[in-house]
Amino acid sequence: MKFAASAALAAISLTACATTEQSAASTEVYDPFEGWNRGVYQFNEVVDKAAIEPAARAYRVATPGLFREGVRNVLTNLRQPVVFANTILQGNPDASGETFGRFLINTTVGVVGIFDVASTLGVSKHDEDFGQTLGVWGVDEGPFLMLPLMGPSNLRDAFGRGVDNAFDPLNYAEFDEPITDDEFRVTRAVVGAISTRERLIETIETLRDQPEPYIALRRTYTSQREAAIRNGEIEDDPYKDLPDFDDFDAFEEEESGPDQPQE
Partner 1 sequence: MKMRTLLISALAAAVVPASAYADERTESFVKQNANEVLNSLNNPDLSSAERTSLFSGYMEQFANINAVSKFVIGKYANRFSPEELKRYQDAFRTYALAVYQSELDAYRGNEVVVEGSTDRSPSDSIVDTKIARTDGRDMNVRWRVLHRNGEYQVVDVALDIEGNLIWLAIEQRAQFLALLDRTNGSADALIDKINSMTRKLKSERR
49 belongs to the binding site for partner 1 (CB under 8 A) = no
Q: How near is the Cβ of 9 to partner 1 at its closest, in Å?
A: 8
243 belongs to the binding site for partner 1 (CB under 8 A) = yes
1 belongs to the binding site for partner 1 (CB under 8 A) = yes
Q: Pick from 14, 16, 17, 24: which binds partner 1 (CB under 8 A)?
A: 24
Distances (CA, A) of 71 to 59, 113, 218: 12, 9, 28
Nearer to partner 1, 69 or 181 (CB): 69
* Burial profile 128-162: b = 16 or more Cβ within 10 angstroms, e = fewer: bbbbbbbbbeebebbbbbbbeeebbbbbbbbbbbe
Could you give the CA distance from residue 164 to residue 128 in angstroms, rounded to a whole number? 10
Nearer to partner 1, 191 or 227 (CB): 227
Distances (CA, A) of 160 to 74, 115, 170: 22, 28, 17
Could you give the CA distance from residue 171 to residue 27 in angstroms, rounded to a whole number? 37
| CA proximity to 154, closest of 20, 12, 17, 35 | 17
Q: What is the dihedral of CA 152, 206, 7, 154, to 10 degrees?
A: 10
Contact window for partner 1 (CB under 8 A) among 77-85, 162-170, 174-182, 251-259: 251-259
The C-alpha R_g of the chain, in whole angstroms, comes to 21
253 belongs to the binding site for partner 1 (CB under 8 A) = no
Q: Pick from 233, 236, 259, 263: which binds partner 1 (CB under 8 A)?
A: 233
Q: Pick from 65, 122, 236, 239: which binds partner 1 (CB under 8 A)?
A: 239
50 belongs to the binding site for partner 1 (CB under 8 A) = no
**What is the footprint of partner 1 within residues 195-214 (CB under 8 A)?**
209-212, 214
Residues that bind partner 1 (CB under 8 A): 1-4, 6-7, 9-11, 24-26, 209-212, 214-216, 219-220, 223-224, 226-228, 230-234, 238-239, 242-243, 245, 247-249, 251-252, 254-255
